[in-house]
Amino acid sequence: MATKVTDANFEKDVLGSSKPVLVDFWAEWCGPCRQISPALEELANELGGKITIAKLNVDENPTVPVKYGVKGIPTLMIFKDGQVAATKIGAMPKAKIKEWIDSTV
């Protein structure tokens, strides 16, 4: 299951994580965000030992998206060792997300 992150716990749960974290910047009203959500849930279960999948609602948590320059959603960012390692913007199929994770992590 994907982890929920907020402005309050982002530093500890994402930047301080010992393993890579994929953060999905999303919102309830975003169709493409809802479209990729099941794929991210499946990947969270399949790749739990390799990477943490986290979701950050941009409407409820405006500080982190601004800090990382999120302009459109869904935006997916992989954080490794407290730094952004890769970014993808827009919806994509599960296989493409997994391929991207595998090539980054």
Q: Provide the pLDDT for residue 55.
A: 98
Q: Is 33 an active-site residue?
A: yes
In the Cβ-directed half-sphere of 89, how many Cα atoms lie within 13 Å? 7
Domain ranges of the chain: 3-104
Tokens of 90: 């827009």
pTM for this structure? 0.96
Q: Which of 14, 30, 39, 51 is catalytic?
A: 30
Q: Provide the pLDDT for residue 48.
A: 81
Residues of the chain with pLDDT > 90, as a percent, come to: 95
The secondary structure of residue 37, as a DSSP letter, is H
Distance CA 37, CA 55 (A): 9
Q: Provide the pLDDT for residue 72.
A: 96
Q: CB neighbours of 72 closer than 8 A, spacing ≥ 6? A: 89, 90
For the chain, which residues score pLDDT lower than 70? none
Instruction: Place domain 3-104 in its CATH homologous superfamily.
Output: Glutaredoxin (3.40.30.10)
Q: Which of 14, 21, 33, 39 is catalytic?
A: 33
